[in-house]
Amino acid sequence: MTKFIVRRLILGAFIVFFGALVAYAVIRSLPTSFVERMARQLSALPGAKSYSELIDQLNKMYGLDGSILEGFFKWFGYAIRGDFGYSWKFNQPVIEKFNSVIWYSVIINIFTFVLQAVICIPLGILAARKQYSATDYTVTVVALMGISLPTFFLATLLKYIFSIKLGWFDLYGIVGRMHEQMTSWQQVLDIAHHLVLPVVTLMILSIGGLMRYTRTNMLEVLNADYIRTARAKGLSEKVVINKHAFRNTMIPLISYMSYLLPTMFGGSMITETLFQIPGIGYISYQAITQGDIPFTMFYIVFIEVLTQFSLIIADISYAVADPRVRAN
Amino acid sequence: METKNKKSFGTQKLDDERRVRVLSPGMLVFKRFVRNKLAITGLAILIVMFAFAFLGGLVSPYTQSQVFKHDEEIMKEYATCMLSTDFRYTVREGAEFPDAARATAVLAISKGDASFTYGDKTYSLVKEGDEFYTFGDALMIAKTRTLAGKFSVDALPETGFVASPEFVAAAEAAVASRSAQFEADGTFYTLINEGKSSSIYHVEPIALASKLVVDPYNESQTSLTTSFAFRYAAELASVRGEKEFELDGTRYVVTGEENDMVVSTMDGEPICSISDILVSPNANDIFLTAEFKAVIRETIRAKETKFVYVDETGENVDYRIDRVNTTYTVRTLKESRVITMFDFPSPQHLLGTDSNGMDVLTRLMYGGRISLMVGFVVVFLETLIGIVLGGISGYFGGWVDTAIMRFVDLFNCIPFYPIVMIIGTVMDKMEIDPIKRIFILMAVLGILGWTSIARVVRGQILSLREQDFMVATEATGIRVSRRIFKHLVPNVMPLLIVQATMSLGGIIITEATLSFLGLGVKYPLASWGSIINAATNVHVMTNYWFIWIPAGLLIVLTVLGFNFVGDGLRDAFDPKMKR
């Protein structure tokens, strides 16, 4: 087991390393005129560093004078010590900015995740138990509809209905206008109020995938021999489903959920942007579209690390949950 | 026997051909597919969508970038009025009073100085009346010559000075006595001797500053009313409260009270009005008559906001005056050609027009072409790369497999949206041609998306490789490429088709998302995503549902169609899994 984990970790580290190299190569091959123009534009912002300072910093950290490999090792040397440089757009060290925004994304995604699990797993199981029933069809259609909805259309539609027509929520932002005057308890409620629509958007979008996945796996389990055995030996349907079937369905579900880790910490770029929630997704969107190279580079590497991490967790949780995997 | 057979007609034997109808595998798949209601619904949706996108463009009477215009009567700014709060300068013809000296002059006025210096010149400043000042300078008014003992004086015509006999005599005496000053007609003149000739200077007002505005009644009188002499005489008369003044032998009468006067000739022909409200037309080619201006002033003084004026053709025209601080804007209804923006649905435009005045329905049709085409090309690209790499990986195994799978891992780990967004932003800044952009977009989406197909192909081939028919191909010595593409790939095909159909929906969503963010398909080309982009403007989102909701529904329906069909195909190909 230890050997397996160690091997998996080393592989993950390698992939992150090469992923970072690819990201670096992409950034290096951006046209110089683009980088210079963006640096010029951003240096014109109030409080920004001067243009020559930005370019000097870029040259120093990214080793632009050397070859791609040389430059990458130079950047990697800084990055591994946690120095990702100074964000052009936000005028503070990249890591500092990251620390100040990441929690909004995490909160949104934890809410979404819990709601999603609570809604999807029971429904998926129900659909599988009553295959071809009306419930099953409804679940399938709803799931497929969720998959077919583009994020931006759903978010715009929700804003149109709930913010404009009904006026229940604000269109944008994380806090209301009167936020400063509120007591701390009211402030929490205010933020929660602003998070409702983003959470609902994310939930509707992710419901489909998990529901179908649960249903497919449950069906597979229900067709397995040991379920027939359990029924044959006269166990009650409740015990068959909850003990024998559900536990076995959990194995693939755990791995599926660990794939959600990157979205949980990596933010949901489009939803956050549409609702202007200052989480990591919206911030990175701004950084990327405005040519903030230090922040963009950091975000890409961050997502790469997260992806690898989630894959490793999925593999390990598989091994923990399923003794058959451990044996191999 | 025959009778026995006849008896059993209707009840078939177990091995009767009519009972066991043998269907080909393809037919079986087809039958299972047709039986699936959702799949058929999906197929129907897709057929409608394709017809809409690819035939719709032919049926639609409009093109995708046709801009509609219409005539509309809109309140247009006609003239602007301002309370005159700044000094206006009139400079004597032939004299120089530089613009920069005006600032110094204003300073001197506010200090109450009698003279001020600008550059190396000193100007005198005389307060002639309330907010009416003249600036004096030694102006060369005449030259004298002594030729063969004969003395003559040439008055400089542009200054308007006329040398009287008395002046000539005094000048001659001064030249003879070589004195620098002389007096004539009760005025002092300065004389500068330059040998045989000399110049005579007189301190004269060369410029005046006043806050009053002079408007001529007739365009032909403009040259008179803007001349320094006229203005000087008229304003002097007005500040002194004189009812008459004379200029160049013509007498003029001043009527009306302060800040609102009319200057006319003795026979009653009005020349100009003098007031403190400046009225200027908003278009260069309009001449506003003094009567019209007078009406506006009257309205403003009466604090009214509407007035009627009869234009040259004798028609009553309504005007409206809006006030902002000391500025009044005169507006009137004018017919002009405007772009039909945000036109609500009508028989001509079934879904209205968008912010550029283009027909939304037509743009949806053309946008559908691009969205669907991008989807198909990208899926084709993905599948191609996926089959080749997955096939090689699965068939050869060993280190080739490991290498390719690590490569797939690497690709999977690269975050999709940040990379595509960087490319989109760069294309934005480099101002790449919209058509080229689409090709780049397709290539990028294809290159970033092939990994899942490669995995499916590899997994499938890994299991097929061990089966007996593959052993048989090996035993019969068939070429490797033939073994892969003739025997393995067709067996992977069903799964591949399902995978491709399902990912088509995903790609359409991705393309729409990018176009929505403004990083994908760009104006003047349309795609469903870029049409919804209009809803990022809250005003459009709130008031013009017909622009963005249909496009969104089209995307949802199309993707749903692909997903239903993909789902149905999966069931049909693999009945064991049910759905």
- Taking the C-alpha atoms of residue A154 and residue B553, their distance in angstroms, rounded to an integer, is 10
Containing domain of residue A286, as a range? 102-291
| Residue A165 C-alpha, separation from nearest chain B C-alpha, in angstroms | 8
pLDDT at res. B578:
44
> How many contacts, defined by CB atoms under 8 Å, are there between A and B?
128
pLDDT for residue B9: 52
Of B230, B331, B328, B318, residue with least CA distance to B276 = B328
- A150–B552 CB contact, under 8 Å: yes
Residues B408 and B500 in one domain: yes
Distance between CA B105 and CA B144 in Å, rounded?
A: 33
Q: What burial class does residue B19 get, using C-beta atoms within 10 Å of its C-beta: 0-12 exposed, 13-18 middle, 19+ buried?
A: exposed
Residue B115 is assigned to a structural domain of this protein: yes
Phi and psi torsions of B280, nearest 5°: -130, 140
Q: Evaluate if residue B373 carries a pLDDT over 50.
A: yes
User: Which residues of chain A neighbour B560 with C-beta distances below 8 Å?
Assistant: 144-145, 148
Report the residue from A18, A144, A153 with minimal CB separation from B555: A153
Q: pLDDT band at residue B536, thresholds of 50, 70 and 90?
A: confident
pLDDT of residue B136: 78
The C-alpha atoms of residue A229 and residue A232 are separated, in whole angstroms, by 5
Cβ–Cβ < 8 Å for A219, A128: yes
Is residue A70 a part of any domain in this protein? no
For residue A216, which amino acid is it?
Answer: T
Give residue B378's pLDDT.
93
Distance from C-alpha of B164 to C-alpha of B190, rounded to nearest angstrom? 16
Q: Are residues B202 and B220 in the same domain?
A: no
Q: How many structural domains does chain B have?
A: 3
In a domain, B277, yes or no: yes
Chain B residue nearest residue A149, CA to CA: B556
Shortest CA distance from B38: residue in chain A? A141
B-chain residues near A153 (CB < 8 A) = 512, 532, 552, 555-556
User: How is residue B18 annotated by DSSP?
Assistant: T
B514 touches chain A (CB under 8 A): no
On whether both B376 and B408 belong to a single domain, the answer is: yes
Residue B535 near chain A (CB below 8 Å) = yes
Clarify whether residues B168 and B250 are in a common domain: no
Distance CA B366, CA A58 (A): 43
pLDDT at site B1: 41
Please name the residues in contact with B527: beta carbons below 8 A apart, sequence gap of 6 or more: B367, B370, B371, B374, B511, B512, B515, B520, B521
Given B182, B210, B238, which residue is the final one in a domain?
B210
User: Encoding tokens for residue A81?
Assistant: 């010590």
pLDDT tens figures, B390-429: 888 888 888 988 899 888 888 888 888 888 888 888 888 7
A321, exposed or middle or buried, with CB in 10 Å at 0-12, 13-18, 19+? middle
The total number of structural domains in chain A stands at 1
Are B378 and B314 in a shared domain? no
d(CA B550, CA B357): 17
pLDDT at B4 over 60: no
**Closest chain B residue to A283 measured between Cα atoms?**
B418
The answer to whether residue B43 sits within a structural domain is no
Residue A87 is assigned to a structural domain of this protein: no
A21 assigned to some structural domain: no
Cα within 13 Å of Cα(B367), Cβ side: 34
Residue pair B457/B493 in contact (Cβ under 8 Å)? The answer is no
> Closest Cα of chain B to A281: distance in Å?
10
Number of H helices, E strands in chain B: 20, 18
DSSP 8-state class, residue A48: P
The answer to whether residues B377 and B111 touch, using CB atoms and an 8 Å cutoff, is no
Q: What is the pLDDT of residues B58-117, one digit of tens each?
A: 887 777 777 777 777 777 777 888 877 778 788 877 777 777 788 888 888 888 777 777
Residues of chain A with pLDDT under 50: none
Which of B407, B414, B432, B531 to probe the A interface (max A CBs under 10 A)?
B414
What tokens were used for B453?
A: 């197909």
User: CB-based contact (8 Å) between B575 and chain A?
Assistant: no
Burial class (CB in 10 A: 0-12, 13-18, 19+), B288: middle
Beta bridge partners of B317: B309
Residue at B295 is within a domain: yes
Collect all residues of chain A within an 8 Å Cβ-Cβ radius of residue B513.
150-152, 270
B535 CB neighbours in chain A (<8 A) are 156, 160
Chain A contact set for B552 (CB, 8 A): 150, 153, 156-157
In this predicted model, which residue has the larger pLDDT, B258 or A281?
A281
Q: Are residues B297 and B416 in the same domain?
A: no
CATH of residue A199: 1.10.3720.10
Q: How far apart are CA A58 and CA A76, in angstroms?
A: 13
Q: What is the pLDDT of residue B19?
A: 59
Model pLDDT, residue B216: 77
Alpha-carbon distance A185 to nearest alpha carbon in chain B (angstroms): 31
Neighboring chain A residues of B421 at a CB cutoff of 8 Å? 285, 288-289
- Whether residue A319 is contained in a domain is answered as no
B417 vs A26, A140, A269: nearest CB: A269
Q: What would the DSSP string read from start to end of A61-80? A: HHTTTS-HHHHHHHHHHHHH
What is the tens place of the pLDDT at every residue in A204-218? 888 888 888 888 888
- Kindly state whether residue A140 falls inside one of the protein's structural domains: yes
**Lowest mean pLDDT, pick from B12-21, B85-94, B325-334:** B12-21
Residues B415 and B464 in one domain: yes
Q: Are residues B135 and B221 in the same domain?
A: no
- CA dihedral angle for residue B193, residue B194, residue B195, residue B201, rounded to 10 degrees: -40
Choosing from B176, B210, B244, the residue where a domain stops is B210
Interface of B with A in 420-449 (CB under 8 A): 421-422, 424-426, 429-430
A135 close to A126: Cβ distance less than 8 angstroms: yes
B484 and B467 part of one domain: yes
For residue B49, being part of any structural domain is answered with: no
Give pLDDT, residue B2.
45
Complex prediction ipTM: 0.85
Domain that holds residue B429: 369-524
Q: Is residue B403 part of a domain?
A: yes
Is the Cβ pair B429, A34 closer than 8 Å? yes
Position A63 in a domain: no
State whether B319 and B466 are in the same domain.
no
Same domain, B203 and B219: no
Q: Is A322 left (phi over 0), alpha (psi -120 to 50) or beta?
A: beta
Q: How far apart are CA B19 and CA A138, in angstroms?
A: 36
Amino acid identity at A175 = V
- Cβ-based contacts of B419 with chain A (< 8 Å): 23, 26, 300
Q: Find the CB nearest A160 among B424, B541, B560.
A: B541
The strand pair at B69-83 and B327-339 is best described as: antiparallel
Residue B253 near residue B112 (C-beta atoms within 8 A): no
Residue B137 pairs with which residues in a beta bridge? Answer: B204
Provide the 10 A C-beta neighbour count for residue A78.
15
Q: How confident is the model at residue B579 (pLDDT cuts 50, 70, 90)?
A: very low
Q: Do A150 and B535 touch (CB under 8 A)?
A: no
Question: Measured between CB atoms, does B567 come within 8 Å of chain A?
Answer: yes
Q: Which stretch, B15-24, B193-202, B553-562, has highest mean pLDDT?
A: B553-562
Contact B342, B354 (CB under 8 A): yes
B407 touches chain A (CB under 8 A): no
The radius of gyration computed from the CA coordinates of chain A, to the nearest angstrom, equals 24
Q: Is residue A172 part of a domain?
A: yes
Least CB–CB distance from B418: residue in A38, A288, A308: A288
> Residue B244: beta bridge partners?
B253
Is residue A297 a contact partner of residue A83, using CB atoms and an 8 Å limit? no
The pTM assigned to this predicted structure is: 0.70
Give the domain-ending residue among B480, B502, B524.
B524
What b/e sequence results for A276-297 when a residue is b if at least 16 CB atoms lie within 10 Å of its CB, and e otherwise?
A: ebbbbbbbbbebbbbbbbbbbb
Put simply, the answer to whether B418 touches A303 (Cβ < 8 Å) is yes
Q: How confident is the model at residue B3 (pLDDT cuts 50, 70, 90)?
A: very low
Kindly state the percentage of chain B with pLDDT values over 70.
Answer: 94
**Residues contacting residue B422 through CB under 8 Å, at least 6 positions apart:** A26, A27, A30, A288, A296
B498 Cα to chain A: minimum distance (Å): 15
Q: Are A284 and A269 in contact (CB under 8 A)?
A: yes
In a domain, B313, yes or no: yes
* Chain B CB contacts of A144 below 8 Å: 38, 560, 563-564, 567
The CATH number for B422's domain is 1.10.3720.10
What pLDDT, on a 0 to 100 scale, did the predictor assign at position B21? 65
Is residue B382 very low, low, confident or very high in pLDDT (cuts 50, 70, 90)? very high
**What residues of A are in contact with residue B36 (Cβ under 8 Å)?**
none
Q: Do B567 and A269 touch (CB under 8 A)?
A: no
Quote the DSSP letter at residue B158: G
- Residue B492 in any domain: the answer is yes
Q: Are residues B435 and B379 in the same domain?
A: yes
**Which among B38, B548, B578 has CB closest to A131?**
B578
* pLDDT recorded at residue B119: 74
Residue A47 covered by a domain? no
Q: Is A300–B418 a contact, with Cβ atoms under 8 angstroms apart?
A: yes
CA distance B422 to chain A (A): 6
Q: Looking at the complex, report in whole angstroms how far the Cα of residue A234 sits from the nearest Cα belonging to chain B.
A: 26
Task: Quote the CA–CA distance of B87 and B4 in Å, as a whole number.
Answer: 127
| Rounded Cα distance, A167 and A159, in Å | 9
